[in-house]
C-alpha cells in the first residue's frame, strides 16, 4: 500500500476527530438539552462516546486513527511513531475537534438558546469540569489513570489483532474500552482522556461566546491536557515493559 503524504494523514486525523466529537458531544447535548423528556442517562453518554470512538476510528483509518494527541505521544515515546509528526497530528486533531463542536452547536442552537439563552451554564456539553471543585489533583490523577488504561488497552488490542490476523477487531475493542472507562471512571473529570477532545470544543465554546465563569480557569483547562499526555506515555511504556514484552518473547 502506498504511504500517505503528511498532508493526507492530517486530513484523516482531522476528519476522524471531527466525527468523534460530532457524535460524542452530540450525545452529551442530547442528554443535557433533552434528557428529561427522553429519559436519557449516563449510560447513554458512555455508550454514545464508545460508538463515537468506533466511527471516528473508521473515519481516521488512513492515518492510523490516533484521533487523540495522547495516543500520538504514547506511540512516539515507545518508538512506534515518528516524533516529527506529533505536533502536526496534534494540531489536526484539535482543529477537527473544534469543527465537530461547532457542528453540534449549529445543529442544536435553537433548543440550546431556549435552555440556556445566555450560554452561561452549558459549556460542559463541550468540555470537562472536575467533580471536586477548586481542586486540581483529583481530576489530574483521574486523567492520568484513565489515559494510561486507554493506551495500554489500545496496544494490547493491536498485538491481539496482529497475532490472530484480526485487524478488523481493533476499532470495536477500543470503542468498548472507552465505553467501560466512562462507565467505571468517567465521573471524576468527565473522562476526556484526550487533549484534543477537550481543548478543541472548549476553544469553540470560548469563541462562540459561552460565559461560564470557570470555562478557561487554568487548572481546569490543563487537567485534561497534561494528565492525558502523561497517562498516555505511562500506559504505553508500562505495556511495553509487561504484556508487550511477553508478546515479543512469544514471537
* Beta-carbon contacts of residue 71 (< 8 Å; ≥ 6 apart): 150, 151, 154, 194, 232
Residues 201, 97: Cα–Cα separation, whole Å: 6
* Confidence check: pLDDT of 61 > 80: yes
Compute the half-sphere exposure of residue 150: CA atoms within 13 Å on the CB side of its CA.
37
* Beta-carbon contacts of residue 217 (< 8 Å; ≥ 6 apart): none
Determine which helix (DSSP H) or strand (DSSP E) holds 37, and give its type and residue range: helix 6-38
Tens of pLDDT, residue by residue over 116-132, are 999 999 999 999 999 99
Residues 237, 125: Cα–Cα separation, whole Å: 32
Cell numbers at residue 111, please?
433548543
Distances (CA, A) of 47 to 29, 55, 250: 14, 12, 35
Length of the chain: 251
Determine which helix (DSSP H) or strand (DSSP E) holds 250, and give its type and residue range: helix 243-250
Tens of pLDDT, residue by residue over 139-196, are 999 999 999 999 999 999 999 999 999 999 999 999 999 999 999 999 999 999 999 9
Which pLDDT belongs to residue 154?
98
Tens of pLDDT, residue by residue over 196-230, are 999 999 999 999 999 998 999 999 999 999 999 99
Nearest-CA neighbor of 52 among 171, 144, 201, 198? 171
CATH, domain range 6-250 = 1.20.1080.10
Tens of pLDDT, residue by residue over 229-247, are 999 999 999 999 999 878 7
Which pLDDT belongs to residue 118?
96
Residues 191, 184: Cα–Cα separation, whole Å: 10
User: Average pLDDT, stretch 8-22?
Assistant: 98
Tens of pLDDT, residue by residue over 64-110, are 999 999 999 999 999 999 999 999 999 999 999 999 999 999 999 99
Q: Say which DSSP state 211 is in.
A: -
Residues 27, 233: Cα–Cα separation, whole Å: 29
* Confidence check: pLDDT of 2 > 90: no
* Confidence check: pLDDT of 1 > 80: no
Amino acid at each position: 500500500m502506498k504511504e500517505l503524504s503528511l498532508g493526507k494523514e492530517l486530513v484523516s486525523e482531522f476528519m476522524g476527530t471531527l466525527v468523534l466529537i460530532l457524535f460524542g458531544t452530540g450525545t452529551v447535548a442530547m442528554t443535557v438539552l433533552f434528557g428529561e423528556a427522553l429519559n436519557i442517562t449516563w449510560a447513554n453518554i458512555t455508550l454514545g462516546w464508545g460508538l463515537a470512538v468506533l466511527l471516528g476510528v473508521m473515519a481516521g483509518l488512513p492515518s492510523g486513527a490516533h484521533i487523540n494527541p495522547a495516543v500520538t505521544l504514547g506511540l512516539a515515546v515507545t518508538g512506534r511513531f515518528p516524533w516529527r509528526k506529533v505536533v502536526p497530528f496534534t494540531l489536526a486533531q484539535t482543529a477537527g475537534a473544534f469543527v465537530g463542536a461547532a457542528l453540534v452547536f449549529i445543529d442544536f442552537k435553537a433548543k440550546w438558546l431556549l435552555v440556556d439563552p445566555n450560554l452561561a451554564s452549558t459549556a460542559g456539553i463541550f468540555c470537562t469540569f472536575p467533580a471536586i471543585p477548586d481542586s486540581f489533583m483529583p481530576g489530574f490523577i483521574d486523567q492520568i489513570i484513565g489515559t494510561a488504561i486507554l493506551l495500554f488497552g489500545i496496544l494490547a488490542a493491536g498485538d491481539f489483532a496482529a497475532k490472530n490476523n484480526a485487524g478488523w477487531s481493533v476499532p470495536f475493542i477500543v470503542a468498548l474500552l472507552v465505553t467501560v472507562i466512562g462507565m467505571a471512571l468517567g465521573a471524576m473529570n468527565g473522562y476526556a482522556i484526550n487533549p484534543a477532545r477537550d481543548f478543541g470544543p472548549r476553544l469553540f465554546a470560548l469563541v462562540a461566546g459561552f460565559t461560564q465563569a470557570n470555562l478557561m480557569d487554568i487548572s481546569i483547562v490543563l487537567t485534561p491536557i497534561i494528565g492525558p499526555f502523561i497517562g498516555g506515555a505511562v500506559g504505553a511504556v508500562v505495556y511495553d515493559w509487561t504484556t508487550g514484552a511477553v508478546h515479543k518473547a512469544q514471537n
